[in-house]
């Protein structure tokens, strides 16, 4: 039977978690923050957010305000913080925007204006980590591929 030839190549361990290739300093800090939270808390929320933050930009699908409202269709759901690892975009077809607390990587200018005008909040992920480090009272969303 063959063994591992340690002298020639050493032991090669497989890595399941890819290192980020972004040059964005803010993204690197977020990945560092959420890797700490994923390791130190028993919350599955932080592990999922870390996985999505560390993914490619192609996998961070945008979501419109109207889609956020379709998903958060009751007052109980609107009371939670809607978390989206991606962009929140405006939808001109939507006439009224209710009060929402949304956490996302990016907001379009008009989407941010409309959410703030309705009395809502636009949060970043570092603000979310201060408010809810384990992801309590949050609702993790993901935009559709199409």
Place 144 in a pLDDT band, splitting at 50, 70 and 90. confident
Structure tokens at 34: 């959420």
For the stretch 4-50, pLDDT in tens is 666 666 666 776 777 888 899 999 999 999 999 999 999 999 999 99
Beta bridge partners, 82, equal 102, 139
> 100-121, pLDDT tens digit by residue?
999 999 999 999 999 999 999 9
The pLDDT tens digits for 56-105 are 888 899 999 999 999 999 999 999 999 999 999 999 999 999 999 999 99
- List Cα–Cα distances, 130 to 34, 80, 123, 136, in angstroms: 12, 15, 11, 12
Q: What region, left, alpha or beta, does residue 5 occupy, with left being phi > 0 and alpha being psi -120 to 50 degrees? A: beta
pLDDT at 1 over 70: no
- Overall pTM > 0.75: yes
* Separation between Cα atoms, residue 30 and residue 53, nearest integer Å: 8
């Amino acid at each position: 039977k063959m063994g591992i030839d340690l002298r020639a190549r050493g032991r090669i361990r497989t890595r399941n978690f890819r290192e980020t290739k972004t040059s964005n300093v803010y993204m690197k800090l977020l990945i560092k923050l959420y890797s700490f939270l994923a390791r130190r808390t028993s919350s599955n929320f932080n592990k999922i957010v870390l996985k999505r933050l560390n993914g490619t930009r192609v996998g961070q699908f945008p979501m419109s305000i109207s889609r956020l409202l379709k998903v958060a269709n009751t007052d109980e759901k609107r009371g939670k913080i809607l978390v989206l690892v991606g962009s929140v975009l405006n939808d001109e077809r939507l006439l009224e925007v209710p009060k929402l607390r949304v956490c996302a990587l990016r907001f379009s200018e008009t989407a941010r204006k409309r959410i703030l005008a309705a009395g809502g909040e636009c949060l970043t992920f570092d603000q979310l980590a201060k408010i809810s480090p384990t992801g309590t009272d949050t609702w993790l969303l993901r935009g559709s591929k199409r």
